[in-house]
Amino acid sequence: MPEQPIEAVMVGGSAGSFEPFAHLIKAVSGKEMPPVVVVFHLMRNVENRVVDLLRFKTGNAQIAEAEEKEFLKPGWVYVAPANYHLLIEEDRTFCLDSSDPVYFSRPSIDVTFESAAQVYGAGVVGILLSGSNGDGTYGMQCIERRGGVPLVQDPEEAEFKTMPLSCIQHLAHPRIYTLNQIEDFFLSRTRA
């Protein structure tokens, strides 16, 4: 049976996740890839420089902050804006939402991952990186239940283990990968 094509990749992380994510994006830059959406826990009322930092670290110009009603395009990396939850709509556009924080965070990884699971089903890959709370666990459960692929950074190499450990404890079949294994998985499913 052929592998389910990857239609979208959702990445979430908090403390200690920026550098691993930048490394992953640098490794896959220039490859034919699905849209990648990343949710970092960002400080409110602080100018968001994540897009500029990612462009600088990866050399990839196709990185942008997600905007309301924007379509997700293959080859692009989208960063959830500070102080908004980021949802994926059925028409595969972004929706920015200002409802209450989840795990004291807005944007919340759970909110984005849950909406992506509803839209993409088995075509979504979720990647949960380093972090210091339980955000992302429920979203990864949603991805797993819909037949998507939940990849969790190995807590032994995560700078902050709480987020990956919480997820591992709550998934039926966690895929615990080192960063190199996540990169290999991604590269094996993309084209040059």
Is the predicted pLDDT of residue 143 greater than 90, yes or no? yes
What are the pLDDT digits (tens) for 144-189?
A: 999 999 999 999 999 999 999 999 999 999 999 999 999 999 888 7
Per-residue pLDDT, 49: 86
Catalytic residues: 14, 41, 135
Domain 8-189: CATH architecture, name and number where available: 3-Layer(aba) Sandwich (3.40)
Is the backbone of residue 46 left (phi > 0), alpha (psi -120 to 50) or beta? beta
Asked if 68 contacts 97 with a C-beta cutoff of 8 angstroms, the reply is: no
Distance CA 85, CA 71 (A): 16
- Gap between the Cα atoms of 183 and 185, Å rounded: 5
List the structure tokens of 84.
């908004």
Annotated domain spans of the chain: 8-189
Flag whether the pTM goes above 0.75: yes
Percent of the chain with pLDDT over 90: 82
Cβ distance 124 to 148 under 8 Å? yes
For every residue of 67-102, DSSP letters joined together read -TTPBP-TT-EEEPPTTSEEEE-TTSBEEEE----B
DSSP 175: E
